[in-house]
């Protein structure tokens, strides 16, 4: 089950997710040994059932050694391990997650849905007024932070800086990524210095109020958790929004059916999430020797669940390469599974709904103006540009 394809070759992602390659791998088997050109060694998990096992069986597959593959050595110590929700196992994970979950209660998300509609309306009407533009830079990139800035404690003037830092944090070049995370953490470390006396109702406030094991969180845990949330909050939904719009514009009949109300928005959102899978892979490390779909995994081995592959496994999804907006059920793994299941899941759906409803009900529609540009990276599946023009509905 070793394979000659190097899934960490950025060129594979130049025209979007490498669906053909992943399908070929799935046809051979659900789990493949990979040794990348840079020396990164891991098991690529491409089948849905094996992926679900890796994500849910946290006692066997820990996230404390990293959740994103490295270019060279996956066994090297991972910065932040054990100190931010995504990089902890229970019981610490339960406590850290609880501390931030109160910002994303159904009531809080409902309140944010009002803001999401306003922001979507404003960004899209600006785009229409200009006759079109780049949906990525004019709308998708700005939208998530504009909706979440207040909850994240970022004043409007700091949004561009934060947007840039979180962009870099997901660069596949490790130095660039480290500098992005560093800037996000320094921002919150500085804010922490001025906030001791008045916690407030945002992310820092929630973390300052939190108790884990009866004790306050350390400054390091607070700053790392802020980094976890802010990078996740700003760098993912944008790719589902732009990738989802591209999928619709490339399929006029599907787009028309959605606009005419022949399919519901809720199931359309799930299908667009399945389709776009912005987080290319989710890494875990085996803590004991184990067996996974016939592969003999050794303690210490890294594994990477390839979400866009699991999402197109034909043993689970009928016609997986078709965009079926009323697909049901739709057990995609775009938002993960198990106890690290995306904390922002409800908010993502609310944000995508705000954009879609505005696009559906508008008097005009959008069309591709020129070919889109994919970010050629194995860390996120995403577009860096999507030129659109306004057309009659
Ligand atoms: C389309 C948009 C999004 C996608 C595709 C996405 C994807 C994911 C995935 C795959 C995981 C699991 C990681 C793992 O198991 O190691 C995750 C976890 C997480 N996500 Fe999201 N996410 C999105 C949006 C958001 C937003 C808007 C927030 C804002 C709060 C957020 C916050 C988090 C957090 C805090 C975790 C870690 C949860 C934990 O470890 O318990 N995500 N997300």
Q: What pLDDT, in 10s, does the model give residues 7-55?
A: 999 999 999 999 999 999 999 999 999 999 999 999 999 999 999 999 9
Q: How far is the CA of 132 from the centre of ligand 1 (A)?
A: 31
Q: How far is the CA of 121 from the centre of ligand 1 (A)?
A: 25
- Residues in contact with 120: Cβ distance below 8 Å, sequence separation at least 6, in sequence order: 143, 351, 354, 355, 357, 358
Is the pLDDT at 245 greater than 70? The verdict is yes
Gap between the Cα atoms of 172 and 36, Å rounded: 14
- Predicted confidence (pLDDT) per residue in 203-226, tens digit: 999 999 888 888 999 999 999 999
Locate the ligand 1 atom nearest the alpha carbon of residue 55 and give its number: 15
Gap between the Cα atoms of 355 and 351, Å rounded: 7
Q: How far is the CA of 170 from the centre of ligand 1 (A)?
A: 14
Element (H, E) at 185: helix 174-195
pLDDT of residue 2: 52
- Going by alpha carbons, the residue nearest to atom 14 of ligand 1 is 340
Pocket of ligand 1 (CB under 6 A): 55, 63, 67, 85-86, 97, 144, 228-229, 232-233, 236-237, 240, 278-279, 282, 334-336, 340, 342-344, 347-348
Q: How far is the CA of 141 from the centre of ligand 1 (A)?
A: 17
- Predicted confidence (pLDDT) per residue in 156-198, tens digit: 999 999 999 999 998 878 899 999 999 999 999 999 988 865 6
pLDDT of residue 198: 60
Gap between the Cα atoms of 71 and 304, Å rounded: 13
Model confidence band, residue 1 (pLDDT cutoffs 50, 70, 90): very low
pLDDT of residue 199: 63
pLDDT of residue 222: 94
Model confidence band, residue 352 (pLDDT cutoffs 50, 70, 90): very high
pLDDT of residue 159: 94
The three-point CA angle 158-161-163 to 5° equals: 105
Locate the ligand 1 atom nearest the alpha carbon of residue 144 and give its number: 27
Q: What does the CA dihedral 83, 71, 163, 367 come to, rounded to 10 degrees?
A: -130
- Going by alpha carbons, the residue nearest to atom 31 of ligand 1 is 344
pLDDT of residue 201: 80
Locate the ligand 1 atom nearest the alpha carbon of residue 307 and give its number: 10
Gap between the Cα atoms of 160 and 157, Å rounded: 7
Gap between the Cα atoms of 307 and 46, Å rounded: 8
Q: How far is the CA of 281 from the centre of ligand 1 (A)?
A: 12
pLDDT of residue 196: 67
Percentage of the chain surpassing pLDDT 90?
90
Is the pLDDT at 269 greater than 90? The verdict is yes
- Going by alpha carbons, the residue nearest to atom 39 of ligand 1 is 340
- Residues in contact with 198: Cβ distance below 8 Å, sequence separation at least 6, in sequence order: none
Going by their DSSP bridges, the two strands 41-45 and 373-374 should be labelled as unpaired
Gap between the Cα atoms of 186 and 227, Å rounded: 10
- Closest-CA residue to 238 (of 345, 68, 130, 383): 383
Do residues 84 and 181 lie in contact, with contact meaning Cβ atoms separated by under 8 Å? no
Establish how many alpha carbons lie within 13 A of residue 378's alpha carbon, considering only the half-sphere containing its beta carbon.
23
Please give the CATH superfamily to which domain 10-392 belongs: Cytochrome P450 (1.10.630.10)
Ligand 1 pocket mutation, candidates 342, 345, 347, criterion most atoms within 8 A of CB: 342
Element (H, E) at 385: strand 383-385
- Predicted confidence (pLDDT) per residue in 275-295, tens digit: 999 999 999 999 999 999 999
Rounded to the nearest 10 degrees, what angle do helices 219-235 and 159-169 cross at? 90
- Closest-CA residue to 46 (of 29, 68, 69, 67): 29
Ligand 1 pocket mutation, candidates 69, 166, 232, 238, criterion most atoms within 8 A of CB: 232
Gap between the Cα atoms of 326 and 2, Å rounded: 37
Mean of pLDDT values over 344-370: 97
- Predicted confidence (pLDDT) per residue in 299-340, tens digit: 999 999 999 999 999 999 999 999 999 999 999 999 999 999
- Predicted confidence (pLDDT) per residue in 85-137, tens digit: 999 999 999 999 999 998 999 999 999 999 999 999 999 999 999 999 999 99
Q: What is the DSSP string of 24-63?
A: HHHHH-SEEEEE-TT--EEEEE-SHHHHHHHHH-TTTEES
**In terms of residues, how long is the chain?**
393
pLDDT of residue 195: 82
Do residues 203 and 156 lie in contact, with contact meaning Cβ atoms separated by under 8 Å? no
Give the tokens for residue 183: 């800037």
Q: What does pLDDT average to over the chain?
A: 95
Mean of pLDDT values over 223-239: 94
Rounded to the nearest 10 degrees, what angle do helices 237-249 and 265-276 cross at? 100
Locate the ligand 1 atom nearest the alpha carbon of residue 63 and give its number: 16
- Going by alpha carbons, the residue nearest to atom 38 of ligand 1 is 340
Q: In what order do the strands lie in the sheet with 132-134?
A: 132-134, 387-392, 364-368
- Going by alpha carbons, the residue nearest to atom 41 of ligand 1 is 340
pLDDT of residue 26: 98
Ligand 1 pocket mutation, candidates 203, 236, 240, 243, criterion most atoms within 8 A of CB: 236
Q: How far is the CA of 2 from the centre of ligand 1 (A)?
A: 30
Locate the ligand 1 atom nearest the alpha carbon of residue 86 and give its number: 40
Mean of pLDDT values over 61-78: 93
Give the tokens for residue 238: 């944008």
Environment class of residue 197 by beta-carbon count within 10 Å: exposed (0-12), middle (13-18) or buried (19+)? Answer: exposed
Q: In what order do the strands lie in the sheet with 41-45?
A: 31-35, 41-45, 302-306, 281-286, 61-62
- Going by alpha carbons, the residue nearest to atom 34 of ligand 1 is 343
Mean of pLDDT values over 135-147: 96
The three-point CA angle 307-309-311 to 5° equals: 70
In DSSP terms, 365 is beta-bridged to 391
Q: How far is the CA of 334 from the centre of ligand 1 (A)?
A: 9
């Amino acid at each position: 089950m070793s394979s000659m394809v190097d899934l960490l070759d950025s060129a594979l992602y130049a025209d979007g997710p490498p669906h053909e390659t992943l399908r070929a791998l799935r046809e051979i088997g659900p789990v493949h040994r990979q040794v990348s050109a840079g020396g990164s060694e891991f098991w690529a998990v491409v089948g849905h059932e094996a992926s679900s096992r890796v994500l849910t069986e946290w006692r066997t597959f820990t996230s404390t050694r990293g959740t994103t593959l490295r270019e060279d050595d996956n066994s090297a110590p991972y910065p932040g391990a054990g100190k931010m929700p995504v990089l902890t196992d229970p019981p610490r994970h339960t406590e850290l997650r609880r501390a931030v979950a109160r910002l994303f209660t159904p009531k809080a998300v409902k309140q944010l849905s009002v803001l999401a509609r306003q922001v979507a309306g404003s960004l899209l009407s600006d785009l229409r007024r200009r006759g079109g533009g780049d949906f990525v830079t004019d709308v998708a990139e700005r939208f998530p932070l504009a909706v979440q800035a207040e909850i994240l404690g970022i004043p409007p003037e700091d949004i561009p800086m934060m947007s840039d830092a979180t962009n870099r944090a997901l660069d596949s070049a490790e130095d660039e990524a480290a500098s992005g995370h560093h800037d996000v953490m320094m921002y919150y470390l500085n804010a922490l210095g001025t906030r001791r006396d008045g916690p407030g109702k945002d992310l820092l406030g929630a973390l300052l109020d939190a108790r884990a094991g009866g004790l306050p969180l350390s400054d390091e845990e607070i700053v790392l958790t802020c980094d976890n949330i802010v990078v996740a909050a700003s760098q993912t939904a944008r790719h589902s929004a732009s990738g989802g719009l591209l999928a619709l514009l490339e399929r006029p009949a599907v787009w028309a059916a959605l606009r005419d109300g022949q399919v519901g928005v809720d199931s359309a959102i799930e299908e667009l999430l399945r389709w776009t899978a912005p987080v290319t892979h989710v890494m875990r490390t085996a803590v004991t020797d184990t067996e996974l779909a016939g592969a003999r995994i050794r303690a210490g081995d890294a594994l990477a669940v390839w979400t866009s592959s699991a999402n197109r496994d034909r043993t689970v999804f009928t016609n997986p390469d078709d965009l079926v907006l009323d697909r049901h059920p739709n057990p995609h793994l775009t938002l993960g599974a198990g106890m690290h299941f995306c904390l922002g899941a409800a908010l993502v759906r609310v944000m995508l709904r705000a954009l879609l409803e505005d696009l559906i009900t508008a008097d005009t529609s959008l069309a591709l103006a020129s070919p889109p540009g994919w970010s050629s990276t194995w860390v996120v599946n995403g577009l860096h540009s999507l030129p659109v023009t306004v057309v009659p509905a």
